[in-house]
Amino acid sequence: MSSLIACFIGLSGGFFGALIGLGGGVIMIPLMTLLLKLTQHKAHGTSLVAIVFTAIAGAATYYLHGTTDWKGALLLAATAIITARFGALYAHSLPEKKLKKAFGIMVVCVSLFLLVKGFLPKSGSQPGLAGSIVIFLATGVVAGFVSGMMGVGGGVIMIPPMVLLLGMHQQLAQGTSLLAMVPISMTGAFTHHRLGNVRLNIAAGISVGALAGGYLGGTVANILPELYLKVIFSVVLVWMGQRYVRTK
């Protein structure tokens, strides 16, 4: 029974994660704590394992549609794989209550980002090669730490600078974000595993579901407008996030 639940969690997280380019941790972590009774720390570590497979399936689908920038993804990952380890170590040092509240605040911020991301204005002028490299590297520093700490892909950090500062269209930014998540999530997952924060038996089932969900979400993202689904999804996230923030 737990294997079927794990597959369902991975399918849900993978679909929504690839659809919006965020990895799916904001869906999988609450479901793991609610349905599988994992601690917050173990849910974060196990989520990162599944995000690796979500990112692989999602990025491959975006690539087939011509909406990935592999050079940008490499630059993001170059710094993020360093800070992801520190984010995981910091999460491990936090008490359960503080980690839950921090996760809740992040979920609310993600939901607000989803509501406005389709209206993000593109930069009127391009920063040039050197400026673009600096933006990618700096964004990776923050995204890696957030990914390792919160058990998420880090897309909520990576996408806005690519759209606002580099002038990428939404699908290209999402595809690039998912591609960068592969090495970032691997680093965070490995660190959490060494700290004992990964349930491998659950991660296996979630990863299978995440592969299928990542493919479906990536396909839908390149075909259909996401407005209505995004609004519903954001409302659910706000409700979920405020419950974490009010944790006693």
Neighbouring C-beta atoms of residue 194, cutoff 10 Å: 14
The residue that leads in pLDDT, 105 or 126, is: 105
Give the pLDDT of residue 86: 96
Query: In which element (H, E) is residue 64 found?
Result: helix 40-64
Please give the single-letter amino acid code of residue 3: S
8 Å CB contact between 153 and 51: yes
Mean pLDDT comparison of 58-67, 91-100, 131-140, highest-scoring range: 131-140
Phi then psi for residue 139, to 5 deg, are: -65, -40
Residue-wise pLDDT for 110-164, tens only, equals 777 777 766 666 656 677 889 999 999 999 999 999 999 998 888 888 988 888 8
Q: How confident is the model at residue 7 (pLDDT cuts 50, 70, 90)?
A: very high
At residue 135's C-alpha, the angle toward residues 131 and 141, to 5°, is: 145
Q: Show me where the domains of the chain are located.
A: 2-245
Q: What percent of the chain has pLDDT over 70?
A: 88
pTM for the model: 0.83
- Please check whether residue 32 is in contact with residue 218, taking contact to mean a CB–CB distance below 8 angstroms: no
Residues 210 and 25 sit within 8 Å (Cβ to Cβ) = no
Q: What pLDDT score does 18 carry?
A: 79
- Cβ atoms of 46 and 206 closer than 8 Å: yes
Quick: pLDDT tens for 174-232: 889 999 999 999 999 999 999 999 998 899 999 999 888 888 887 887 776 656 656 66
Contacts of 228 (CB under 8 A, 6+ apart): none
